Amino acid sequence: MAGIIFSKKDLVSLVDYHIALLERLGLSDEEPFSIIYFLPGDDKNTESIAMIKKILRQSDALFELDNAFVILLTCSDWNGASELLAGIQDFLGQKIDDNLV
């Protein structure tokens, strides 16, 4: 499985669509998705991006925003997002820093 890469211009529209879909399905009161924002650092290269894309589920969306990345994780709570962020930071050789809210 692999996450899908979307254009940065689609980020807000996709999040709005996902929220509307969850409301229609009656799932808006649960923790239906998480959003991770991270900086890949100076070693950003196509191999790192390809590896990050591979570890994501097919239902996850990856957005590249200038020098940063945003990942929309469907059906994922704070703990799942925190674990994924720590794994990405470890893979990139960064200090694990949890900035989730």
Specify the pTM: 0.79
Q: Within a domain: residue 101? A: no
| Rounded Cα–Cα distance for residues 2 and 54 (Å) | 4
Give the count of domains, the chain.
1
Q: Within a domain: residue 38? A: yes
Predicted confidence at residue 27, as pLDDT, reads 76
Q: Within a domain: residue 97? A: no
Q: Give residue-wise pLDDT tens across range 14-33.
A: 888 888 888 888 876 666 78
Place of tokens 């799942």: 80
CA angle 34, 36, 46 (to 5 degrees): 130
CATH number at residue 68: 3.30.70.270
- pLDDT over 90, % of the chain: 5
Q: Within a domain: residue 100? A: no
What are the residues facing 91 on neighbouring strands?
none
Identify the CA nearest to 39 among candidates 72, 68, 82: 68
DSSP character at residue 65: E
Domain containing 12 equals 4-91
CA angle 65, 70, 71 (to 5 degrees): 145
Q: Within a domain: residue 99? A: no
Q: Within a domain: residue 65? A: yes
Q: Within a domain: residue 41? A: yes
Q: Within a domain: residue 35? A: yes
